[in-house]
Amino acid sequence: MAKIHINGEWFDFDFDHKPMSEALALEDVTGMRYADWETELAAGSMKAMCALIWLVWRRNGREIELASLLSGETEVDLGPLLDSLQALAAEPPEPPGPTAPARTRRARTPTTGTATSPSSPASST
């Protein structure tokens, strides 16, 4: 869970949680495709940054018009916001969740040929 710093407050934001309804709402208010928004955000677009702030606040129960951010009516101090995003980018990625154990094979010894099955009986004659 990421911690985003906006105007003196810290907000939780899960970048991996991407509900369809939220993506559709973002497309509606920004006029850009969700994939384009992600690309623009990574490229440093301030319109995309405003949409991120809108999403963070929306997930945390604050309803604000994106137009208010885009017009400057609702001002955001970029310094702490960008610092918190850069700190997130510098963190090592979280390890993936639990996985199934790898399947193992019986080790073959140098004297066991590759055509010999490990379960074949030894010959005594």
7-19 pLDDT per residue, tens = 999 999 998 999 9
Q: 108 pLDDT exceeds 70?
A: no
User: Do residues 62 and 10 lie in contact, with contact meaning Cβ atoms separated by under 8 Å?
Assistant: no
Please give the Cα distance from 69 to 66 (Å, whole number). Answer: 5
Give the model's confidence band at 114: pLDDT under 50 very low, under 70 low, under 90 confident, else very high.
Answer: low
Express each pLDDT in 19-38 by its tens digit: 999 999 999 999 999 999 99
pLDDT value of residue 53: 96
Q: What are phi and psi of 71, to 5 degrees?
A: -85, -15
| 84 compared with 102, residue with greater pLDDT | 84
Domain locations in the chain? 2-90
| 46 compared with 90, residue with greater pLDDT | 46
Handedness of CA 40, 46, 47, 49 (dihedral sign): positive
Q: What is the pTM of this model?
A: 0.71
